A and B are shown apart, each in its own frame.
Chain A
Amino acid sequence: MKKIAKSDLSKLFAAIAEGSELYLPVKVAGQTNFAPYTADAEVDVDTLKTVKSAKDIFFPQSENLYTCKTDEEKNISITPEALQNENFVVYGMRGCDAKGMEVLDKVFLSEPVDSFYAARRAHGTVVAAACGEPEETCFCKVFGVDCAEPVADVVTWTVGDTVYWNAYTEKGEALTAKLADLLSDADEKAVEDEKAKIRAIVEKLPYSDLSLDKFGAGKTMELFDSPIWEELYKPCLACGTCTFVCPTCQCYDIKDYNTGKGVQRFRCWDSCMYSDFTMMAHGNNRTSQMQRFRQRFMHKLVYFPDNNDGMYSCVGCGRCLERCPASLNIVKVVKAFQEGAGK
């Protein structure tokens, strides 16, 4: 266990940024999101949840895959985009977002491996932050996340004016060694007390005892035709906000952009909430918003566990509770089925 005074964090960030790119929560126009560190950035490590999750550091909202050029003889040449080849550090990721990376790993690191994502994972070191004050919208405990001790390369705890720092992996040890001048030895006591304090808060959160009994692998046929979906989806505006702020949503689109000098092939986040997501020349297999709404939650709560040894594609970050303009969210869905089943 190491420690650093909170007032010295700016020195720590500067030191990390000297050796590699550093992403951390930065406040821009009143909103905090992960962004590259700069000397004049308004770093904000106190906000519990960034508006968007940390996923776009590893799975960017938009990224180029290759460039395609056609010469005068109409011959095509393809130049793939270079992969991430520089080490970088992400500071301040919460336990839910760190678990979200585990979910995305199941998608992008399964065969055939997505080399663009894999390169970023290989070169990124994650410094997670324990959640000192989990909020009422948090329900990460339901999905097996311990926000008092996130799973990451390094975990930090802020207790009063001190930030405690503990490395868990080789990458974490390497980063710790580089910062040896700034970090001093600490005993575990303060951190153990902090963990106990956090876990006690989590116990009392309103959704911490949410039951997932009705969901999980093998429940497709039981849930798919339930009349509950018809009632639930109605307020949905199909805006896709839930999918964009979600740390585990991974649906993407692949598109071409004509730069005038060639064609840039890129991929960008897409959303199963949109009507054109499944549309093709001969028709559309999900024509109603009810079907699209059902797809999102069935995927997170049933299909994904089916394919990944029971792991859910939700980490309980609660962003959808905060951001949905129609007050829809995964807690409502889970509760509706829980209560509906009792009728």
Chain B
Amino acid sequence: MCDCNCHEKYYEDTLIPKVGVITAITQETPDVKTFCVNAPEGGKLFEHMPGQCAMLCAPGISEAMFSITSSPTNKEYQEFSIKKCGQLTDYLHSLKVGDQITVRGPYGNNFPVDTELKGKNLLFIAGGIGLAPLRSVINYVIDNRSDYGTVDILYGSRSADDLVKLKEIEEVWKNVEGVNVHLTIDREQEGWDGHVGFVPAYLKELNFSTDKTALLCGPPIMIKFCLEALLELGFSKEQVYTTFELRMKCGVGKCGRCNIGSKYVCKDGPVFRFDEIDELPSEY
């Protein structure tokens, strides 16, 4: 036996997860649930920044990276809004309050809420489950309201039933001073008297002034057309941020999966500014 103590550090390895307890589940839409996660002894598993992700795992089933949808200003728990769309998410949707999962993280960079975004007018653009990572920033901004300028939230989904966090949007976000919420759904629907149309079209229609910094997240096709719409409105790529979704395993830039050009999305991302994305090969 070697007399060094380096082998005692392995509990700190980022590949070793912690146990998390699901303490609340909200059915947001027919296929999206939000899970509150705590440490078994109570409290949060770790501290994070808006835009960061964590690896959630149902042991023996699978493991995947999810954005942390709660704001770090939430001192009690972490939340994950998860759409049912594969083996792991099917299983997570079957879990009940009190069930345990494993969690490791947080991983990746964050939206620059304490630097580049500070003092700016903000425009959040989200589609469907794409609200999940932006909600962390939105609530952070609302909880530190005086640090930021005006806030516009443009959020769209397939139908009124597919809008995630609608209760919070209606009851909290719409009532915060200087926050404007613009909702839209793809097709006409009974009982919906709000805007109807795709997010990029509505974005152009709203004709936002370019004194804002935009944060964009949604399906790839929506991101593409929203960026075009923003550029048409006169925004520059330096004013627009998004967050990438790629296959990940390790979360620390070593396993090779999320490598695009010289960047590892899990470590150097997931948050990128569009002028930075221009410097990457088009493989995302």
Contacts and interface: CB of A to CB of B under 8 A. Distances in A.
A208 interface: no
A343 interface: no
B85 A78 contact: no
Interface string B95-111: 00011111000000000
Contact of A307 (B18, B260, B262, B279): B262
Nearest to B265: A285
Interface string B119-161: 0000000000000000000000000000000000000000000
Contacts of B219: 282
Interface stretch (A48-56, A136-144, A154-162, A246-254): A246-254
Contact of A285 (B59, B85, B86, B246): B246
Contact of B59 (A115, A256, A303): A256
Interface string B4-42: 101101111111111100000000000000000000100
B19 A282 contact: no
Contacts of A81: 10
Contacts of A278: 246-247, 257-258
Contacts of A86: 1-2
B254 A66 contact: no
A72 B126 CA distance: 42
**Chain A facing B: main interface SS:** mixed
Contacts of B19: 75-78
Given A115-B9, A251-B256, A74 B250 contact: no
Interface in A77-92: 77-78, 80-87
Given A280-B247, A281-B85, A115 B256 contact: no
A279 B254 CA distance: 17
B270 to A, nearest CB: 13
B60 A252 contact: no
Nearest to A122: B6
A68 B102 contact: yes
A112 B252 contact: yes
Contact of B255 (A84, A115, A254, A281): A254
Contact of B256 (A66, A256, A265, A272): A272
B247 A277 contact: yes
Kindly name the residue among A85, A87, A107, A299 whose own CB sees the greatest number of chain B CB atoms within 10 A: A85
Contacts of B63: 254, 256
Kindly name the residue among B17, B60, B89, B98 whose own CB sees the greatest number of chain A CB atoms within 10 A: B60
A29 interface: no
A108 B254 contact: yes
Nearest to A70: B59
A263 B16 CA distance: 14
B283 interface: yes
A285 B100 CA distance: 32
Nearest to B87: A281
A103 B13 CA distance: 21
B259 A220 contact: no
A251 B7 contact: no
Nearest to A278: B247
Interface in B39-93: 40, 57, 59-64, 85-86, 89
Contacts of A123: 2
A72 B175 CA distance: 46
B281 interface: yes
Nearest to A108: B254
A175 to B, nearest CB: 14
B256 A270 contact: yes
Contact of B281 (A83, A87, A221, A283): A221
B102 A76 contact: yes
Kindly name the residue among A70, A252, A258 whose own CB sees the greatest number of chain B CB atoms within 10 A: A252
B281 A279 contact: no
B237 to A, nearest CB: 16
B208 interface: no
A220 B10 contact: no
A80 B10 contact: yes
A44 B283 CA distance: 45
A286 interface: yes
B85 A122 contact: no
Contacts of A256: 57, 59-63
19 contacts: A68-B60, A84-B7, A86-B2, A114-B13, A114-B254, A115-B10, A119-B10, A122-B4, A224-B281, A250-B254, A251-B255, A252-B250, A252-B255, A253-B249, A254-B249, A279-B247, A282-B245, A284-B247, A285-B247
Given A70-B100, A75-B100, 14 more contacts: A66-B16, A70-B59, A80-B10, A83-B6, A115-B9, A116-B13, A220-B261, A220-B280, A225-B281, A258-B60, A272-B256, A280-B86, A285-B246, A295-B283
